[in-house]
Amino acid sequence: MARKRKLAEVWHHRVSSSISNWRNKIEKRYGLPTVNWPIFENTLFFGLYHPLDYLRFLLCRGKRKVFWAGSDILALEKTTYWKRIIARINAEHICENYVEQQKLREMGIKARVQPICLSTPYPELSYRWTEDAHVYLTMRKGSEDAYGRGIIVKIASKFPNITFHLYGCYCMVGKNKNIIWHGIVSEEEFNKDIKNYHACIRLNKHDGFGDALAKSCLMGQWPISAIAYPYTSHAPNLKTLIGALEDLKDKKTPNCEGRAYWLRELSKDLV
């Protein structure tokens, strides 16, 4: 007797108000219907940042998945009892790297690692080596040094053949001739700029897999990250960062294996 075909599960999503700027990209990338109070629906929660997020998660009577966005893990870590409650609720947890995975594990939450990229369509292979390299960082207001601004200002003069492009900065620091302060630009302008560059630098110690880093991988560049990822240069400290920057002069061909790997990984669905 032929087995009955199992119907595909229907999933909805809920985006935390703390990352409402992600909402349009999430809806475009995953195409899941939105739910405000997920009482009975199978729900994929993007971010659990505050008590209202926790309450929605607690009251959900469908299946639950949580995609941890990054700083929400640090917020949960500071709570007195919510971290214990959330750890006891049956749910699938997803994060983007081993740093986040370890933080969650310490709170009793078992998570699998699956990085995502919300920017679509994905960029094409565009890496072209030049003797004078161009690298770029993105950062947020109030957290510029967590993203590496201070470190770059400190070391830029050691690399006269590298131009450092800083996006999202609200003030210029230092007088380095090889630092360009772009400030806030549109995503279209940012994408146009970076396709001619050679590496994204991501120096956050606690961070998700940022879209800027994902784009760098997909364009066949040679990105540098304080958190280890496949096909990126791991630079958890100043010495390794300097070494990775020195190595850029030898990166004369595109990182095609890295691009192929990340195309596969980032194309996976969360549900």
Contact 180/164 with Cβ under 8 angstroms? yes
| Helix-then-strand count for the chain, H and E | 10, 11
CB-based contacts of 89-92 (< 8 A; 24+ apart in sequence): 89/57, 89/58, 89/64, 90/64, 91/57, 91/63, 91/64, 91/65, 91/66, 92/63, 92/64, 92/65, 92/66
Q: Which amino acid appears at position 260 of this protein?
A: A
pLDDT band at 41 (very low <50, low <70, confident <90, very high): very high
Please compute the mean of the pLDDT values over residues 6-10 and round it to a whole number: 67
Query: Tokens for 227?
Result: 């958190």
Q: How far is CA 151 from the centre of its chain?
A: 20
Lowest mean pLDDT across 39-43, 65-69, 199-203: 39-43
Q: Which range, 24-38, 119-133, 174-188, has the best average confidence (pLDDT)?
A: 119-133
Please compute the mean of the pLDDT values over residues 123-133 and round it to a whole number: 95
253 phi, psi to nearest 5 deg = -125, 155
| pLDDT of 2 above 50 | no
Q: Which residues fall within 8 angstroms of residue 46, CB to CB, at 6 or more apart?
A: 13, 14, 15, 16, 19, 22, 26, 67, 69
Q: Identify the pLDDT of residue 5.
A: 39
User: Could you give the CA distance from residue 128 to residue 149 in angstroms, rounded to a whole number?
Assistant: 26
Nearest to 173 by CA among 194, 190, 151, 193: 151
Mean pLDDT of the chain: 92
204-243 pLDDT tens trace: 999 999 999 999 999 999 999 999 999 999 999 999 999 9
pLDDT band at 3 (very low <50, low <70, confident <90, very high): very low
Contact 138/210 with Cβ under 8 angstroms? yes
Residue 32's CB is within 10 A of a number of other CB atoms, namely 20
3-state SS, residue 34: strand
- Portion of the chain with pLDDT greater than 90, in percent: 83
149-195 pLDDT tens trace: 999 999 999 999 999 999 987 666 666 789 999 989 999 999 999 99
Q: Identify the pLDDT of residue 169.
A: 76
54 phi, psi to nearest 5 deg = -60, -40
Please compute the mean of the pLDDT values over residues 124-150 and round it to a whole number: 91
